[in-house]
A and B are shown apart, each in its own frame.
Chain A
């Protein structure tokens, strides 16, 4: 069974943390299993944690009146779920639903923030990696917004 520290060290999005940093963050984590359709969080609720997926996938959803639940993105094995815990007002912006039976590590956001306050090097390293995650997903979202597969009346 994969330990939380192993999960942290094998996530490409967190690659390069020292073993001490990994151990410190792992102390803030617990393992979690959710069934298909179970919600990890819902829009507007306090964002007090983040997750790394060990197995399965999580759909980020938005509910729009008359359109129902729209899946914005799915996140998969080894990927980070959630960055709202890092930034005030610490509220989830989307719903997070298990798209299939999913195992994750869940990390206490307040404890990790406190760790970062006490160890600015760890804070910098974590912030760099989460910023890269945010940047990658922002760029992907921009391409998504281009609607590149939409109709182009050419011929």
Chain B
């Protein structure tokens, strides 16, 4: 007769599929549908060390896990900061999480913005809508090492003035040596800034003649037109980086949901060279 024994105790380190409990320690509403959350690990571990452009898989309760880019300062990773737009059930539940609520977090995952590779160059950062959030860590890293770069130019477009993110902070970035151009797609007469699509800013910022590299993030259509306009302005596709968005679920390249042509966006992305990504974005079935 077989004798039942207790299984060996689990001793392995938790893998990347095991979430960590984070507590909401701060919450700020940025726009009508966008909130910034500050999170700290419930076990007292603070935030997460990360590189600009990386994301976490995050969930509130049982409402589903979603990939959200980290929007904090990589030099100050505690607490973990996420700016989230409520567009569905999962993101809506995350945005509704009040201080004290517990979220599950995995990561960080993904290939970051090439902040160090751009040293010695002029850098243009082109963001659309919520796309400024994944670029914020890169902007802060650029400004923290301001002397290592030439011109730093931010081109930022949003739908309307009340949907602009980080308005006060953008003024601070300008004071720290970044040229900032902000436009909206539509506005009333009380708005004194630019009106028009973000690509219209490329000519106005007079980027020709510089030694520019570019980082762009926003809706895919916006990034496509932006990359084309940057290329038309003389910036080679091998110097334009974009952040791809696909159906990321595992975050580690195992499940295949985020496959785009030969690449898995969660593992090899989300940041790609435009010249790498462009052929695959042109295939409508992908």
Contacts and interface: CB of A to CB of B under 8 A. Distances in A.
Interface of A: 12, 57, 59, 61, 68-74, 76-77, 97, 99-100, 140, 143-144, 146-155
23 contacts: A59-B195, A69-B188, A69-B189, A70-B186, A70-B187, A70-B188, A71-B187, A73-B195, A74-B193, A76-B194, A77-B204, A97-B189, A140-B200, A143-B197, A143-B221, A143-B222, A144-B196, A147-B185, A149-B157, A149-B219, A149-B222, A151-B87, A155-B87
Interface string B183-215: 101111101111111011001100000000000
A149 B129 contact: yes
A72 B186 CA distance: 6
Nearest to A153: B88
Contacts of A97: 189
Contact of B159 (A71, A72, A73, A149): A149
A147 B158 CA distance: 10
B197 A155 contact: no
Contacts of B130: 149
A39 to B, nearest CB: 12
Contact of B199 (A77, A143, A149, A150): A143
B218 interface: yes
Given A70-B188, A71-B188, A147 B159 contact: yes
A148 B66 contact: no
- By secondary structure, the B interface counts as mixed
A76 B221 contact: no
Given A69-B188, A143-B225, A149-B129, 15 more contacts: A59-B189, A68-B188, A71-B187, A71-B188, A73-B200, A74-B196, A143-B197, A144-B196, A144-B197, A146-B221, A148-B128, A148-B221, A149-B218, A154-B87, A155-B87
Interface of B: 33, 64, 66, 87-91, 128-130, 157-159, 163, 183, 185-189, 191-197, 199-200, 203-204, 218-219, 221-222, 225
A100 B197 contact: no
Of A69, A74, A77, A150, most buried by chain B (CB within 10 Å of CB) is: A74
Nearest to B221: A148
| Best-surrounded residue of A68, A70, A73, A155 (most CB of chain B within 10 A) | A155
A79 to B, nearest CB: 8
Nearest to A141: B197
